Amino acid sequence: MNILELCLSDSLGGLELHFRDFSVWLDEQQSSEGRIFVATRSETPLASRMESDLCLTNRNLWHAARLSKFISANKIDVVHIHDKKDLPLLALVKSICSYPFKLAHTRHMSLPGGKRDFYHSWLYGKVDAYFVITEWMKSQVINNLPLAPEKIHKINLGTAVVERCSETELSELKDNIFSEHQGLWLANIARIQHGKGQHVFLDAIKQLKDKGIQVAGVIAGGTDDPQYVKQLEDYIELHQLKVKIFGHRDDIPVLIQAMDAVVLTTECETFGLIMIEAMMAGVVAIGSNSGGVPEIIDHLENGLLFNVFDPQDLSKQIQLLDLSSELKEKLALKGQQKALQRFEKKKQFLAFKEKLLNLEE
């Protein structure tokens, strides 16, 4: 069976990294009976981080003929896409391609509203399998898309088991950020934009500082909103907060391990991959009580939840870690146990692979 993994995104976030990791893993698992092909968009961060069998310059529908020829020439049985923006192109390709392939789509983002008009009925009518990553998303799909229930499959994303860094390495990393800090260390790791709530993170740290609680914070992530970043920097300077802002970092697994907690402040996060990465590393995960995050974190059992965009409630949850090292250790341990049981990457990849292979039947 031949599978084409395709992602034409020009970004580099959780969606794109999942695509890359799954494609590489699939390629390692391939047998003599089939091959894994990869298609990306040329001159993008994703394309520079993996080998591609086909590179397209954009999503222009004129590429449909080229993609159709590639699928036919290589006898692709299943095309698996990850970015919703790639769906119109692949729906058109499926309409014109002489080789009868199956189309699978993993949806990583929430669905804000109903899409049952003629165009979307045609578009989703070309989809043979639709993967969602939370039960919350599954209910959205059932309510909003013209898809038969048997085509909808829920499979959580996963993360790798973490190799523990040495205490020396972690200490050096922290010293390079804020030397000799003795209080809590918190990280907010997400794309830097208003909807991700970094301003809530800063406001919570300010409230903790006003209470005399020593906190060092790290904000890390790419951005296309320099004005918002400037607002964050001005807030940090105004209130003299011990927080540093970084762009995209390649040492995120190490950074996570150096923290006491990883905080996700998104207004409505679909899944929250960074949460399970923190849990897998044995670090406390703190997330907004919305979207798919409550499916990951059980409050006060294996992590902490706070009310959406509520810095006062967030500061209250963080303060619990400062007040009780026993609670912090319990949440970290229980979180790691849940991550190993529910969100180990290879288990999730096997589930995706099984569904893709079954499409050929």
**C-alpha separations of 188 from 26, 262, 274 in Å:** 31, 6, 9
**Of 287, 209, 266, nearest in space to 243 by CA:** 209
Position 347 scores a pLDDT of 93
- What is the pLDDT at residue 360? 66
Q: Give residue 124's pLDDT.
A: 97
**CA gap 39, 293 in Å, rounded:** 31
Residue given tokens 């950074």 in the structure block: 255
Asked if residues 296 and 266 have their Cβ atoms less than 8 Å apart, the reply is no
Question: What global pTM score does this model have?
Answer: 0.86
Point out which residues pair with 243 in neighbouring strands.
217
3-class secondary-structure state, position 189: strand
| Residue 361 confidence (pLDDT) | 54
* pLDDT block averages, 10 residues each, the chain of length 361: 96 88 92 88 94 95 95 98 97 97 94 90 97 94 95 94 93 95 96 96 98 97 95 98 94 96 95 94 97 96 98 98 96 97 94 91 54
Confidence (pLDDT) at 110: 87
Nearest to 174 by CA among 208, 218, 204: 218
Q: End-to-end CA distance of the chain, in Å? A: 11
Cβ partners under 8 Å of residue 208, min gap 6? 215, 315, 318, 319, 322
User: Nearest Cα to 199, choosing from 166, 141, 241, 167?
Assistant: 241
* pLDDT given at position 31: 72
Neighbours of 56 (CB within 10 A): 20
